[in-house]
Each structure stands twice: as structure tokens, then as C-alpha cells.
């Protein structure tokens, strides 16, 4: 419920202009039945946001660029600008954030709404944060982000030192228990109801709750939060991926774009939530989170920093675990087949893809496995259409760049377990597709042509003045499927024959051949 005030609020402006806190507001009123809206920023806001009093205020507010504070999120890459929370707040959206930077200043932002007899006020207050320490050293007016005591600071440093030693020296069998202990220590110190870790899959399409600590009397949800698709919580996925932090003080006030998230939080009885990204080699791999069930919580900068620090320790532990399993798997592969080591150096120098020798060796191995285990195996061949004309028009360096671009797209598209892309010769590529039915292999090959079409890579006219379709670079392809009487060379030969048919039948197409 917004406060009610008698008389007009307009008289406040002179007082607000003297406040040491930056204030921006929009006033809505009706004059003779015609609605109007005016904007105001006090002198502190002008100084903090570098506003020019001689220029229209609204356009300056719209042009402000807000960025997530990497000191809080731990993200290594420079973040992109986000939608202005000031404009959102002045439009009626509830804003309460302590993780942003504007005009090179870390700030806390809070929105409010007020009613007068003839006006509605949408206001925003902004206060500088001290991004170096665990506390807001600036203003006594914001009690939720008041300075953290020295005793708490030292206590948390002891926790970080303890957990750092514990997690760094964890043996594989102890890692899950030690991560759970770290969540317990964080949850208890921050006085929250639940602490947890979620990890994303390789393509960031799903997330899974891998570790959870809950306070006494709080229900656990780890078992039913497995492999959640990003389509189920799209607003959250976008926020955590783009900003590295997701802080909600009151889940009942989530905007309409987060309707799915609001429903999920209600299902889990979550009233406030804070999530901070986990990173491995500058790549977002998941997030660490805190929930409040019994009451609302206004998350401070200190909460975000503490969560991030414990998250970094946990991310390092998870990374070590993954490295261990990777090394273990590599060791098993080396013991099973010495060719795996040679495979590391059998790469094409221009594209970094497997070369023809490596592809043939791997195909022979996979073919033997397919015969033995009775699973399907296909080979697709692709060739860049009118590549000679492209070279003649633009030169060899441009031709090499095109080959690299097609190689990158092929590697991006054919990345499932067991698939192998190679530069077979010149502008020709080969792809091994195990464990797929023949129709599936053909469909994935057709899908690659569509992916290339979407790139819109321009192809010049040939010397004979022929026009390439839509003036875009295209490829032709051929697909052949294993018959149990074939060898690897036969399978490659059949795929090349299909490629030849595709060229003869008009190019920019895929021809298929399934052996009986």
C-alpha cells in the first residue's frame, strides 16, 4: 500500500533538492482532465549521474548505461549494459538492487511510490556503495546496508580461511560432504533458511540442484529440482547469465515477465532469494543461492560478496573434481587405445579440425564398434559451392577465412558425443555421425545448410556472371549410411558420390545414400 499524503507533493521538491541522497522522480497529475507527467532529479542526482540541467531530463535518464558490478559477481568478461532500472522504477516497477554500476560509480537503487491528492509520485533513490569492502560506508539512511561490524568481518574471514583449506585439500570421496558443509556455514552466518548450488549443462539449456543445505524446519527441494529446462524459468536464466547475480527482496512483487519464476517461488514458499554465478575459466557453470522462507530479506552488498566468495571456493572444488574425472577418463582411453595420443596432433593447420588421416582412423574404429554393437553410423561430406570463384574474386586470404568460418560452423553444429568433424581436403569437409538413425543424420545435415543460410555470408558473382543464389555462400552435401559389409573407405566413397550428385543437381542441397 502506497502512503497517502494530503495536499500536493509539489512543495517537496525544494526540500528533496537539498538531500545528500540522489533522488529522481516522475510526477503524474491531471490538469483539466488531461494527464501529464514531469520529471525531477535533485542536485545530488545531477552530480552522481553527471546530468546536465540545461538538457531534457527524461532523455538523459533513458541514455544512462547500467552495468552489473563485476566486483560482486566475479565474472571475468566485461558485462553488457542492462535496461535502465531508473526508467523501470519510474514506470511503476519495484526495484531494489545493490549490484550495479552507473557513471563509473557502484550504487544502491531503491524505488518507491507515493500518492498525493492530485499527484502520483514514482521515485528512485540512489546511494554510492563502497565496492572495496564488505560494507556500505556512505549513508546512515539505508539501514539494511549499514556498515558491517569488525567482529563480523573477522568472523567471516575465519570461515573463508577454514573452507579454503577444507575444500582445497578435499579428496574426491569427501567433496560433496565438504561442499555441503560450506553451504551450511554460509547459510548459518547469513542467517538464511536455505543454501544451495545449481550447475548448468554444457549448453546452458538445463540446470540441476547438485547440493543443498536447509535450516531446521525448512523443506528440501533438491530431489525435484533436477534438469530444469531454461524454458521453465526464462527470466531467471537471462538475468543470471547476463548479470551474474539475481537478487529478489519480495518474490510477490516480481514483474510480469517473471511470472513463471514467481509461480515456482510460491510453490517452494520462497519469499526472498539471492543467486550469484559460479565461473570456471571465465565460463558460467552454475550459481550458488540463498533463500528466505520465514520472512522477506533485503539483500545487502555484503550478502552478495559473501555468497560470491564461498561460491568461488565451491567452483574451484567442482573444477578440480571435473579435472580429476577428465584425467581419469583420459587415462582409461589411453590404456584402451594408444591411438588417442596420436589423435591430439592429427589436426588441420588452418582450421584446427581433425585432418583426413585422423578421420579415417577414427572412422575405422567406430565402424568396428558399430558392427560389434549393432548401432548405426553415417558419414556426411560437405563442399563449399563455387569456391574457386570466391578465391578468384576475393583472393586466397579471404578463401582461407571462408574455410575457417565453415569449419567453425560445422564444429558448432556437429558437437554431440562421438561426432567428429574433419577438413577432408581443400574446401571439403567430412563428419562422422555415430548412434543416429539414417533419417536423423540426413536431417542434421539439412539443418546445417539452414544454419549456414542464416549467416548470410556474401558470395561475389563468378567470372561468367553467374549469380549465386541470394548472393550467399552455400555448400552441397552427401550422406551415406553404414552397411555391415562395408569398410571405412567404402562409406567415405559413397558419401562423396552423394556429394557429387548434389553438385550435379543444382548445389546448395544434400543428397542421401543408405546402403542395403
CA dist., res. 90 & res. 121, Å (int): 9
For 2-23, the pLDDT digits (tens) are 444 445 555 667 777 778 888 9
CA dist., res. 80 & res. 93, Å (int): 21
Cα angle 298, 304, 224; round to 5: 85
Least reliable range by pLDDT among 249-258, 392-401, 479-488: 479-488
Q: Rounded to 5 degrees, what are φ and ψ at 401?
A: -65, -35
Least reliable range by pLDDT among 133-142, 249-258, 387-396: 133-142
Least reliable range by pLDDT among 82-86, 132-136, 230-234, 426-430: 132-136
> Rg for the chain (alpha carbons), in Å?
30
For 143-181, the pLDDT digits (tens) are 444 444 566 777 888 888 888 888 877 777 788 899 999
Residue among 366, 372, 375, 373 at smallest CA distance from 437: 375
State residue 412's pLDDT score. Answer: 93
Residues β-bridged to residue 478:
381, 511
Number of helices (H), then strands (E), belonging to the chain: the values are: 16, 17
Residue among 325, 245, 231, 229 at smallest CA distance from 278: 245
Which DSSP category does 20 fall into? Answer: S
CB atoms within 10 A of CB 266: 13
For 32-68, the pLDDT digits (tens) are 667 788 888 888 889 889 999 889 998 889 899 998 8
CA dist., res. 239 & res. 235, Å (int): 6
Record the cell numbers describing residue 365, joined without a space. Answer: 574404429
Record the cell numbers describing residue 31, joined without a space. Answer: 490538469
CA dist., res. 299 & res. 273, Å (int): 8
CA dist., res. 190 & res. 301, Å (int): 12
Q: Look at residue 509 and tell me whether its pLDDT is greater than 60.
A: yes
Angle between the 175-189 and 301-336 helix axes, to the nearest 10 degrees?
Answer: 180
Record the cell numbers describing residue 207, joined without a space. Answer: 540446470
For 212-238, the pLDDT digits (tens) are 999 998 989 998 899 999 999 999 999
CB atoms within 10 A of CB 130: 13
Q: Report the predicted TM-score, pTM, of the whole model to 2 decimal places.
A: 0.50
> How far separated are the first and last CA of the chain, in Å rounded?
74
Give the pLDDT band (50/70/90) at residue 290: very high
Residue ranges with strand state E in 403-509: 420-425, 428-434, 475-481
State residue 78's pLDDT score. Answer: 72
CA dist., res. 275 & res. 99, Å (int): 12
Amino acid at each position: 500500500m502506497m502512503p497517502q499524503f494530503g495536499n500536493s507533493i509539489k512543495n517537496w521538491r525544494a526540500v528533496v533538492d537539498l538531500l545528500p541522497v540522489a533522488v529522481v522522480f516522475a510526477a503524474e497529475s491531471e490538469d483539466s482532465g488531461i494527464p501529464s507527467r514531469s520529471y525531477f532529479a535533485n542536485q545530488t542526482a545531477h552530480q552522481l549521474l553527471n546530468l546536465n540541467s540545461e538538457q531534457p531530463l527524461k532523455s538523459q535518464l533513458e541514455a544512462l548505461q547500467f552495468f552489473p558490478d563485476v566486483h560482486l559477481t566475479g565474472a571475468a568478461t566485461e558485462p553488457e549494459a542492462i535496461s535502465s532500472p531508473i526508467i523501470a522504477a519510474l514506470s511503476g516497477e519495484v526495484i531494489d538492487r545493490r549490484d550495479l554500476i552507473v557513471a563509473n560509480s557502484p550504487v544502491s537503487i531503491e524505488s518507491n511510490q507515493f500518492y498525493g491528492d492530485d499527484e502520483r509520485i514514482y521515485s528512485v533513490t540512489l546511494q554510492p556503495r563502497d565496492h572495496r569492502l564488505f560494507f556500505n560506508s556512505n549513508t546512515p539512511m539505508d539501514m539494511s546496508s549499514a556498515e558491517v561490524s569488525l567482529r563480523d568481518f573477522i568472523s567471516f574471514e575465519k570461515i573463508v580461511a577454514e573452507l579454503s583449506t577444507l575444500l582445497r585439500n578435499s579428496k574426491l570421496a569427501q567433496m560433496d560432504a565438504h561442499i555441503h558443509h560450506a553451504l551450511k556455514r554460509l547459510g548459518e552466518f547469513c542467517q538464511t533458511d536455505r543454501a544451495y548450488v545449481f550447475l548448468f549443462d554444457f549448453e546452458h539449456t538445463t540446470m540441476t540442484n547438485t547440493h543443498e543445505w536447509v535450516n531446521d524446519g525448512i523443506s528440501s527441494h533438491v530431489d525435484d529440482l533436477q534438469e530444469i529446462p531454461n524454458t521453465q524459468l526464462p527470466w531467471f536464466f537471462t538475468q543470471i547469465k547476463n548479470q551474474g547475480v539475481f537478487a529478489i527482496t519480495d518474490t510477490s512483487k516480481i514483474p510480469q515477465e517473471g511470472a513463471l519464476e514467481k509461480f515456482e517461488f510460491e510453490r517452494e514458499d520462497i519469499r526472498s532469494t539471492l543467486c550469484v554465478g559460479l565461473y570456471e575459466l571465465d565460463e558460467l557453470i552454475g550459481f550458488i543461492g540463498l533463500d528466505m522462507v520465514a520472512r522477506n530479506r533485503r539483500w545487502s552488498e555484503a550478502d552478495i560478496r559473501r555468497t560470491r566468495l564461498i561460491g568461488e571456493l565451491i567452483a574451484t572444488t567442482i573444477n578440480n573434481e571435473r579435472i580429476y574425472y577428465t584425467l581419469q577418463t583420459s587415462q582409461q582411453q589411453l590404456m584402451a587405445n594408444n591411438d588417442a595420443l596420436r589423435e591430439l596432433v592429427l589436426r588441420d593447420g588452418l582450421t584446427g579440425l581433425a585432418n583426413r588421416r585422423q578421420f579415417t582412423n577414427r572412422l575405422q574404429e567406430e565402424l568396428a564398434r558399430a558392427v560389434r554393437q549393432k548401432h548405426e553410423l553415417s558419414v556426411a561430406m560437405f563442399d563449399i559451392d563455387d569456391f574457386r570463384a570466391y578465391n578468384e574474386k576475393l583472393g586466397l586470404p579471404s578463401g582461407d577465412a571462408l574455410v575457417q568460418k565453415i569449419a567453425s560452423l560445422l564444429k558448432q553444429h556437429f558437437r554431440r558425443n562421438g561426432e567428429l568433424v574433419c577438413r577432408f581436403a581443400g574446401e571439403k569437409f567430412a563428419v562422422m555421425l555415430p548412434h543416429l538413425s539414417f533419417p536423423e543424420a540426413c536431417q542434421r545435415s539439412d539443418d546445417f545448410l539452414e544454419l549456414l543460410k542464416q549467416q548470410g555470408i556474401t558470395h561475389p558473382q563468378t567470372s561468367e556472371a553467374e549469380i549465386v543464389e541470394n548472393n550467399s555462400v552455400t555448400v552441397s552435401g552427401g550422406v551415406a549410411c553404414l552397411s555391415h559389409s562395408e569398410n571405412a573407405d567404402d562409406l567415405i566413397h559413397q558419401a562423396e558420390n552423394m556429394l557429387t550428385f548434389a553438385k550435379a543437381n543444382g548445389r546448395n542441397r544434400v543428397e542421401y545414400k543408405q546402403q542395403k
